[in-house]
Amino acid sequence: MFQRTCLVTVLRVAAVLATAVATAAAVAQDLPQLLPEDLFRRNIGTPEQLDRQFPPHQIIDNVYYVGTESLASFLITTEAGHILVNSDFERNVATIKASVEQLGFSFDDIALILGSHEHADHMEGNVLAKELSGAQVIVMAEQVAGLQQLRPGGKEQPVDRIIKDGDQVSLGAETLTAHLTPGHSDGCTSWEFDVQEQGQTHKVVIICSVGINPNYQLWKNPERPDIVAQYRASHSRLRAIPADVPLGSHPAMYRMAEKYPLIGQGNNPFIDPEGYLYEIAINEQALNLRLEQQRLAAGE
């Protein structure tokens, strides 16, 4: 009986893995030829979209969107206080606060502030967000150096706790696992956690970013000689997480604007495992295209 049970378990695991591989292969076969600048424009949008509030909304379970049209911020609520992921530019904090309050929550109840990566459009607002909420700011060790360069109004960035790759951050009944997924930045951190909907458990991943800034030197970069290896390791790391609710530091990374009108019209549109694999694949292809362009331009 024991041997039969083990065999059934092995077969089930093999079936799940086979489905995942087949899905990834199907996604890879149907990719448009997008370059880094195409994806950069998709993510950033217009200058107005960086600051314009997107309607705050529930994504799934205790996860809410409180960001702008092109800069994502997420509120994860718990009975012990709330978690804010990404404070964006300092000028966006007032918008984030308004969104939190429109959803019926208090900004004062934010107990933890996390971030995706040490660029101004995602973590510059930590100073003001902490001032307004009194929250603890938790950062990945590799984010510290970059954060020290972000000084809105000359103010130093708060760092209350430094974590490392694989560490967990808990508040109330919620636990998030930090995955270092560098390339876009040295401290790029993707966050993994579980949620519940209709009696089922779903895995959320807030992807830091696997996008390539158009000005990044990939081929033989003397300042970041391991940049391509970082990206490739991050692609593999993310693919190994069986995510079915993809989110990201820019809402275009998970097609928020397309999914939002579908809320309440059947299945939760944010449950999208194929979209998760697509985002990794489209950025991996852009990396390969730009790397080959730069190699040929260098005459090698």
SS3 letters across 159-205: CCEEECCCCEEEECCEEEEEEECCCCCCCCEEEEEEEEECCEEEEEE
Handedness of CA 190, 213, 183, 237 (dihedral sign): positive
Region class of 136: left (phi > 0), else alpha (psi between -120 and 50), else beta: beta
CB 181 within 8 Å of CB 253: no
The three-point CA angle 44-73-132 to 5° equals: 125
b/e for 168-185, b at 16 or more Cβ within 10 A?
Answer: ebebeebebbbbbbbbbb
Rounded to whole angstroms, the Cα distance separating 265 from 217 reads 44
**Residue 139 · residue 102 · CB < 8 Å:** no
Residue with tokens 């530019």: 89
User: For position 27, what pLDDT does the model report?
Assistant: 47
Rg (CA), the chain: 20
| pLDDT tens figures, 56-106 | 999 999 999 999 999 999 999 999 999 999 999 999 999 999 999 999 999
User: What residues does 171 pair with on adjacent strands?
Assistant: 174
Which residue in 147, 141, 225 sits closest to 183, CA to CA?
Answer: 225
pLDDT recorded at residue 229: 98
Whole-prediction pTM: 0.89
DSSP labels for 77-117? EETTEEEEE---SGGGHHHHHHHHHHTT--GGGEEEEE-S-
Tell which CATH classification among 1.10.10.10, 3.50.50.60, 1.20.1050.10, 3.60.15.10 matches the domain 31-297.
3.60.15.10
> 12 Cβ partners below 8 Å, 6+ apart?
none
E strands, the chain, are 57-60, 63-65, 74-78, 81-85, 110-114, 136-140, 161-163, 168-171, 174-180, 189-197, 200-207, 245-248
Q: Which residue numbers in the chain have pLDDT < 70?
A: 1-29
Domain limits, the chain: 31-297
pLDDT on residue 29: 52
pLDDT of residue 30: 77
Q: What's the CA gap between 25 and 225, in Å, rounded? A: 29
pLDDT of residue 17: 38
